[in-house]
Amino acid sequence: MTGATGDTQRGNAALLSVEDLKTYVFTPGGIVRAVDGVSFSIKPGEAMGLVGESGCGKSMTCHSIIGLLPTAARTIGGKIVFEGEDLTAKPESELAGYRGKKIAMILQDPLMSLNPVFTVGNQVAEVFRLDDSHASKQTVTQRVVDILTRVKISSAERRLRNYPFEFSGGMRQRVVAAMAMARSPRLLIADEPTTALDVTIQDQFLRLLKEMQAESGMALILVTHNLGIVAEVCDSVAIMYAGRIVESGSVMRVYNEPAHPYTRGLMEALPVLGVRKKRLYQIDGEPPDLCGLPSGCHFHPRCAFATGICRREYPPTKELPGGGYAACWLLDERGREQ
C-alpha cells in the first residue's frame, strides 16, 4: 500500500511515507506482531486518522515513527521515510534531532506528559531553551506567554506560575499541545488526545487542533477509535486491524463506500445521533490475540463473507476505483471465484 492519501492534493511529495513497517514485541509468551506490514503516506498539511480497536497496533505504529518504542519492542523491517530520509537507518543521536523538533507527539493523558513538580511555565520554557539556550529570561517568558495564549489559555502570564494539578483536564491537554507546537513541527502525532476529555471540552480541543494545523501547515496523524472525530478533523483515514491496515483512503470515500467488511461493520455498529437504527450491526467475536493470529486474513473468523481462500492466504492490497486501498479477497478475482 503506498498511500492513504485519497484525493487530497495539497502537495505532491509525501512528507512521511511508511513502507511495510514491522514492529514486533518480544515477550516471554511469544512474539507479538504489533505492527505487521503497515504502509501509508502523508503529504504536508494533510490530516490522517488512524483508526482501530485497542491492541490493533495503532499506537505502536506511531511510537515506531517517532522512535520511542518500549524496550521489548523492535522495528524489524520496513522503512519510515520522513522528508526523504529513512528514519529506521538513523542512529539514536540523529533521531533525537527529529523528536519534538520536526515530529511532535501528544499523548492521551496530559497528566502523564506533564511533570507534577514543575510549574507549567517552566515546562513550556524548557522546550524553547532546547533551541536557544542563550535566550534571555524575558524572551523565553514572552514566548511561553505567546504560545499559551495561542492555545487559548486565558491570563497566561498569571497561569505560568501554576502547577499542572491546578489546571483542568482540557487546559492540561492544551498546555501539552502548546509544548508540541512550540518548535513548529512538520508532523504532529496525536495519540487519542481527547479520550480523557468531556465532549464539550473535546470539541474545543479538536477545533484548536484544526486551527493550529491550518495556520502552520503541518501534517497530522490522529490516532483514535472514534470514527466521529476522524470525520470531523481528518482528510484521509486508515483503518487498522490486528497489526495491519485493512482499508485506507479519503474520509469521504471510506465513510460513504467502505470496501472492507471490517470497515463496513464498524460504521454499522456505531449508534449515530439522529439516525434511527432498530438494532446495531454486530461484528461477532473479539479481536484476535496478536501472539496467535488466525491464518490467512486476520479478520476471517469474524467476517460474514469469509470463504476458503480467506482462511488460507492474506489478501493482497488492491487500489479501489473510488480512491484508496483495501485488503480483502472480495475485491480480488481470485477471491471472487470462490
Partner 1 sequence: MTNLLEARDLAKHYRIPTSGFIFRKYKPLHAVDGISLAIEEKACFGIVGETGSGKTTLSKLILQLEQPTSGSISFEGENLSDFDRQKTMWYRTRVSAVFQDAGSSLDPRMRVRDIVAEPLRTHGKDLSRADIKSQTEKALQRVGLGAQMLARFPHELSGGQKQRVAIARALILEPSLVILDEPVSALDVSIQAQILNLLADIREASGLTYLIISHDLAMLYHLSTQIAVMYMGQIVEMGDTEEVFREPLHPYTRALFAAIPRPIPGRVKECPALSGEISDPLNPPPGCRFYPRCVIRSDTCTSKAPALTPAGASHSVACFSAHDAPRC
CB of 289 to partner 1, least distance (A): 10
Comparing CB distances to partner 1, the nearer of 81 and 231 is 231
Using a 10 angstrom Cβ sphere, with 0-12 exposed, 13-18 middle and 19 or more buried, the burial of residue 233 is: buried
Q: Is the dihedral of CA 33, 95, 87, 247 positive or negative?
A: positive
Using a 10 angstrom Cβ sphere, with 0-12 exposed, 13-18 middle and 19 or more buried, the burial of residue 285 is: exposed
Q: Which of 103, 178, 174, 117 is nearest to 143 (CA)?
A: 178
Please, what's the b/e burial string for 163-178 (b: 16 or more CB within 10 A of its CB; e: otherwise)?
A: ebeebebbbbbbbbbb
Which cell is 50 given?
488512524
CB of 260 to partner 1, least distance (A): 13
Query: Residues near 288 by Cβ (< 8 Å), separated by ≥ 6?
Result: 242, 294, 298, 301
Comparing CB distances to partner 1, the nearer of 130 and 272 is 272
Helix (H, G, I), strand (E, B) or coil at 40: strand
CB of 198 to partner 1, least distance (A): 4
Q: Residue with C-alpha cell 491464518?
A: 295
CB of 295 to partner 1, least distance (A): 21
CB of 134 to partner 1, least distance (A): 38
CB of 280 to partner 1, least distance (A): 4
Comparing CB distances to partner 1, the nearer of 83 and 203 is 203
CB of 238 to partner 1, least distance (A): 15
CB of 113 to partner 1, least distance (A): 20
Comparing CB distances to partner 1, the nearer of 91 and 274 is 274
Which cell is 111 given?
497528566
Comparing CB distances to partner 1, the nearer of 67 and 258 is 258
Compute the radius of gyration of the chain from its Cα atoms: 21
CB of 275 to partner 1, least distance (A): 9
Comparing CB distances to partner 1, the nearer of 45 and 67 is 45
Comparing CB distances to partner 1, the nearer of 186 and 300 is 300
Say how many CA atoms lie within 13 Å of 211 toward its Cβ. 12
Angstrom distances, CA of residue 190 to CA of 166, 247, 283:
23, 20, 28
Interface ranges with partner 1 (CB under 8 A): 53-54, 168-171, 198-204, 206-207, 225-232, 251-252, 255-256, 265-267, 269-274, 277, 279-284, 286-287, 302
Comparing CB distances to partner 1, the nearer of 130 and 269 is 269
Please, what's the b/e burial string for 254-265 (b: 16 or more CB within 10 A of its CB; e: otherwise)?
A: beeebbbbbbbb
Report the distance separating Cα 330 and Cα 232, nearest Å: 29
Comparing CB distances to partner 1, the nearer of 136 and 282 is 282
In this structure, the number of other CB atoms found within 10 A of the CB of residue 281 comes to: 13
